[in-house]
């Protein structure tokens, strides 16, 4: 396929957009190897040294090792719980033709209307009342609750595109309802599942406010997003160390995105074709 001159503006805009995305990442990365004076004095210059000092200092000062482990635990368990609840819920809603199904779907959609900040105090009270305040367990239960509306709505749309005949064929082969979900709907919705996995992973991993208030600052329990700001100080922040710490916490995000991006793109493209 050959592109003529008419494609030139599109190319220019695409490259400009890419540059807009790359510049902050470049700034973050080079700052991780600099001192404060270098960061503010010549922000976009290449670092004069590739010393790992800022990285080791960030890792040890903020105890990022255990913070990453805690984040992985909370995120992985919350994702598992989200999928465990959202897939059957979406399956049930997608297969229901009556008014009740539409009503339940709308109830899930109402979840979008609750502002995150407004739920903070009631959530704190709930955590205190259940004895789960200052525990990671509460976040493992709470995060899926916040992710259910988006997850269910996306998965319902995917499941509605699966022809009924597929289920009927499975039933003829003796599949139970659970078997239909597991062997027909789930595999065919993998792009959708990958999409909600990726979106929820980013949300759960980057969650700060609730983790700060509910889990708290205990180094044995706190997540990476709570550990990272401890590198910031009102009376003089070392931005080299802070950006190095930020780069370290971005590594898992980059790894997960690399693994799931193909599936997500597939989901987006298939969605476009269906439209």
Partner 1 sequence: MRSPLSRRGFLAAGSGLAAAALPALSGCSPFASADSDPGTLIVHTQLGTTAPGSPTYKAVVKEFHAEHPGLRVKNLVNGDDLPQVYETSRLARKEPDVVMVNLYDKTLAWTDVGATVDVREYLDDWGLRERVLPAALTEWTDGEGRLRAFPYFATNWPVAYNTALLERAGVGAVPTTGDQLIGAARKLRAKGIAPVTVGGNDWTGQKLLAQIIQTFLSPDEARKVYASGDFSGSRGVREGIDYFVELRDAGVFADKAQGLTSDTMTTQYNTEAAAIQSAMSSALAKVPARTAGHTAVGGWPLAPGAAHDKPTILRSYTLIGFWISPNGVRKISSVEKFLRFMYRPEVVSRFITESGRDMALVTDTVSKDFPLVAEAQRLGDRVGQVLLPDLHVPPTATQPLITATSTAFTRGTSAAAVRSALEAAYRTG
Instruction: Report the interface residues with partner 1, using CB under 8 A.
Output: 36-37, 39-41, 57, 61-62, 73-74, 77, 80-81, 84, 124, 127-128, 132-138, 140-141, 170, 173-176, 178-179, 182-183, 212-213, 216-221, 229-239, 241
Sign of the CA dihedral running 231, 56, 204, 128: negative
Q: CB-wise, 31 or 264, nearer to partner 1? A: 31
Residue 31 is inside which H or E element, if any?
helix 8-31
The contacts of residue 98 (CB under 8 Å, 6+ apart) are none
Q: Residue 155 in contact with residue 189, Cβ under 8 Å?
A: yes
**Burial level of 15, CB count in 10 A (0-12/13-18/19+)?**
exposed
Residue with tokens 């995150």, as numbered in its chain: 116
Q: Which of 116, 115, 163 is nearest to 274 (CA)?
A: 163
The contacts of residue 199 (CB under 8 Å, 6+ apart) are 150
Q: What radius of gyration, in Å, describes the C-alpha atoms of the chain?
A: 23
- How far from chain centre, in Å, is Cα 36? 31
């Amino acid at each position: 396929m050959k592109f003529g001159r008419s494609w030139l503006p599109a190319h220019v805009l695409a490259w400009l957009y890419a540059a807009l995305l790359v510049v902050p990442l470049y700034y973050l990365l080079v700052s991780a190897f600099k001192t404060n004076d270098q960061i503010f004095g010549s922000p976009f210059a290449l670092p004069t040294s590739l010393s790992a000092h800022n990285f080791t200092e960030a890792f040890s000062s903020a105890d990022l090792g255990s913070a990453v482990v805690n984040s992985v635990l909370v995120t992985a368990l919350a994702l598992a719980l989200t999928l465990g609840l959202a897939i059957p819920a979406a399956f049930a809603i997608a297969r229901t033709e009556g008014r009740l199904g539409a009503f339940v779907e709308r109830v899930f959609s109402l979840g979008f209307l609750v502002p995150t900040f407004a739920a903070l105090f009631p959530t704190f009270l709930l955590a205190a009342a259940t004895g789960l305040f200052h525990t990671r367990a509460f976040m493992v239960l709470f995060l899926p609750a916040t992710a259910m509306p988006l997850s269910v709505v996306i998965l319902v749309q995917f499941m509605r595109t699966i022809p009924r005949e597929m289920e009927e064929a499975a039933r003829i082969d003796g599949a139970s309802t659970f078997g239909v979900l597991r062997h027909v709907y789930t595999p065919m919705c993998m792009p959708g599942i990958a999409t909600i996995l990726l979106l929820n992973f980013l949300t759960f991993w980057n969650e700060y406010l609730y983790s700060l208030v509910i889990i708290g600052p205990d180094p044995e329990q706190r997540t990476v997003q709570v550990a990272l700001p401890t590198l910031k100080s009102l009376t003089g922040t070392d931005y080299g160390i802070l950006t190095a710490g930020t780069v370290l916490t971005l590594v898992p995000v980059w790894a997960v995105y690399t693994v799931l991006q193909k599936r997500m793109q597939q989901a987006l493209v298939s969605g476009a074709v269906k439209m």
